[in-house]
Amino acid sequence: FNNISGNTTTARLLPGTGTIQTNNTTSYTMPLGFRNFNNLIVSSLSTANVITIPNGNLVTINNNLTLMTNARLNLNCDSLTVNGQTNLSGFLTNTLSSVRYIFKDITVNSLGSYFTNTTGTTTINGNLVLNGGAFADTATNTTNHNVVINGNLIVNSGTSNAYGCGSLTGTGTTTLNGTIKWIFSNVGTKTFKNDVTICSTGNWNNIINEVFTFEKNFIINGLITTGSSAIYTFSGTTIIS
């Protein structure tokens, strides 16, 4: 099919791949029947144009979710499961409370964002890789959205990244070769269950006074900036070199 909306938003099935690619020049809400995808690629000519998956859809993407630069995908659905890679160069948002979203691996690129301002849980069963965007960034600092990373948190060299909103549980290792800036305080708890390493090019910026718990080693080879009322609780060893 070529036109699913009757307007200038088009979606096409790429032959032999099971991939749906949208290219919207206006905002558009998908039909309720759009629930199961092999791959989903969203592109747009303008950040003003939003594609919305509506409430009532329990969505599964069997392989990859890709948001191109300028693309905006709004998740107004109760649940989303992505079994492959999620690559964000655009904006992934959600507006429905008490949601349950499950991802394999997520990469957030420069200009990309995972934006949530509701309650619920995002589970990443693989790695979260930050390449210069924002993750769990919210419009206010009053929402407790729970994020669970069962793989590793990786901040790549030469990038500046924002992290905000709610509770965070990191099960795997955390490695900073770039900058992570914590942008909200007094919302939820943030617990790291494995080693956290700030490498020589890494920068841990907590001037906003977030509260953290470290159950393993906290290794500082780079820069750490902390506000006067931040609280750090350590169960392992702090290594400064």
For residues 170-187, give the mean pLDDT. Answer: 90
Distance CA 158, CA 179 (A): 8
Tell which wins on pLDDT, 159 or 17: 159
pLDDT recorded at residue 7: 38
Assign residue 240 a region (left: φ > 0; alpha: ψ between -120 and 50; beta: otherwise).
beta
Give Dmax over CA atoms of the chain in angstroms: 61
Within a 13 Å sphere around the CA of 71, how many CA atoms are in the beta-carbon half? 24
Using the predicted structure, report yes or no on whether residue 6 has a pLDDT greater than 50: no
pLDDT recorded at residue 237: 84
Residue 68 CB contacts under 8 Å (≥ 6 apart), including other chains: 41, 42, 43, 44, 89, 90
**Mean pLDDT, the chain, as a whole number?**
85
Per residue in 91-149, pLDDT tens?
A: 998 877 778 899 999 999 998 999 887 788 899 999 999 999 998 755 555 567 889 99
Give me the torsion for CA of 195, 198, 203, 208, rounded to 10°: 30
Burial of 101 (0-12, 13-18, 19+ CB in 10 A): buried
Per residue in 193-219, pLDDT tens?
A: 999 999 999 999 999 888 999 999 999
Using the predicted structure, report yes or no on whether residue 5 has a pLDDT greater than 50: no
Per residue in 64-97, pLDDT tens?
A: 999 999 888 998 888 899 999 999 999 998 877 7
Tell which wins on pLDDT, 11 or 143: 143
pLDDT recorded at residue 186: 63
pLDDT recorded at residue 158: 95
Distance CA 4, CA 207 (A): 47
Using the predicted structure, report yes or no on whether residue 45 has a pLDDT greater than 90: no
For the entire predicted model, the pTM comes to 0.90
Residue 37 CB contacts under 8 Å (≥ 6 apart), including other chains: 18, 20, 59, 60, 61, 62
Using the predicted structure, report yes or no on whether residue 9 has a pLDDT greater than 50: no
